[in-house]
Structures are given as C-alpha cells and as structure tokens.
Amino acid sequence: MTTALFATVPGEDHGLGITVAADLFRDAGWDIDLQVGQDHDTLLAHVETRRPFAIGLSLSSDQRIDALIRLVIAIRLTVPHAILGVASHEDLDDDTLRRLVDIDLVFRDAASACTDLERAMRLRMEPYGS
C-alpha cells in the first residue's frame, strides 16, 4: 500500500476538495494521512515525525501563496526526498505556480493526480532499484 500525506496549506479554510481527493486515493489503494486546518508549525512537526515520501497540498486561494511557499521551503529542508504536489484553484496556472514554488507536480483532478503521483514515485525510486 502506498502512503501519502495530504494537507491544506496553513490558513486555508476550505478542506472539502482535499478530503474528497483523499477518499478517492484511498479507494485506489493508498494509505492517506489527511491533515486539514493545521497551522504551519503543527503541520511541519507532523511532516518531521512521519517523513512522508509523497505530499499533496491544497491551495484554494492565491491569498495563501506566501504560506504555501513558506511551507514548501520548510518541507524541502525537512524531507528533501519527498515528492510534492499542489492542487490549486483554477485562477493560478501551472507555470506560475511552478515558478513561485519548488514543487514536483500540479494536480488538477484526483484521477490524474493519482496517476501522476504514482508515476513520479516510480521514477524517483528507479535509481534505488525498487
């Protein structure tokens, strides 16, 4: 079973989308650790303890982009091997998001997110013979 951490960006008050995505991933056989409504320090402490290999973050407003940038930097320092993906609102295009934040994937829907994340994990593990 594949494990991933899904979380809302600190300060987000919209967690329905990531909760639905977590359920879809679970239906596809994933073990999802869902963290909704956590502040930056609490979420980072959770990441440090769990050290997930895959992390999906939900950003529903460009008003939280600073919080996303801060969180991604902290996650990269804590678990540099982690594959990071962000599901953002449709007003923030993929290229802009990737220029602003050091992420591996942009998720636009749960079905393609599952496929994209599985592919990224396989590619990341290839050099290790897994």
The CATH code of the domain that includes 117 is 3.40.50.280
Does the structure show a pLDDT above 90 at 59? yes
Asked if residue 80 is part of any domain, the answer here is yes
Distance between CA atoms of residues 123 and 106, nearest Å: 16
Place of tokens 């939900």: 58
Asked if residue 57 is part of any domain, the answer here is yes
Q: What is the mean pLDDT of residues 45-71?
A: 94
The side-by-side arrangement of strands in the sheet containing 105-107 is 30-35, 2-8, 54-59, 83-88, 105-107
Does the structure show a pLDDT above 70 at 117? yes
Lowest mean pLDDT segment, chosen from 10-19, 54-63, 117-126:
117-126
Q: What is the mean pLDDT of residues 80-98?
A: 88
Count the domains in the chain: 1
Asked if residue 130 is part of any domain, the answer here is no
pLDDT at 35: 97
Distance between CA atoms of residues 111 and 108, nearest Å: 9
Asked if residue 93 is part of any domain, the answer here is yes
Asked if residue 64 is part of any domain, the answer here is yes
Does the structure show a pLDDT above 90 at 125? no
pLDDT at 129: 53
pLDDT at 76: 97
Going by pLDDT thresholds of 50, 70 and 90, the confidence category of residue 89 is confident
Interaxial angle between packed helices 65-78 and 40-50, expressed in degrees from 0 to 180 and rounded to the nearest 10: 30
Please list the residues that pair with 21 across neighbouring strands: none
Distance between CA atoms of residues 79 and 47, nearest Å: 8
Domain that holds residue 32: 2-124
Does the structure show a pLDDT above 80 at 51? yes
Asked if residue 129 is part of any domain, the answer here is no
Asked if residue 81 is part of any domain, the answer here is yes
Asked if residue 8 is part of any domain, the answer here is yes
Distance between CA atoms of residues 99 and 103, nearest Å: 9
Mean pLDDT of the chain: 90
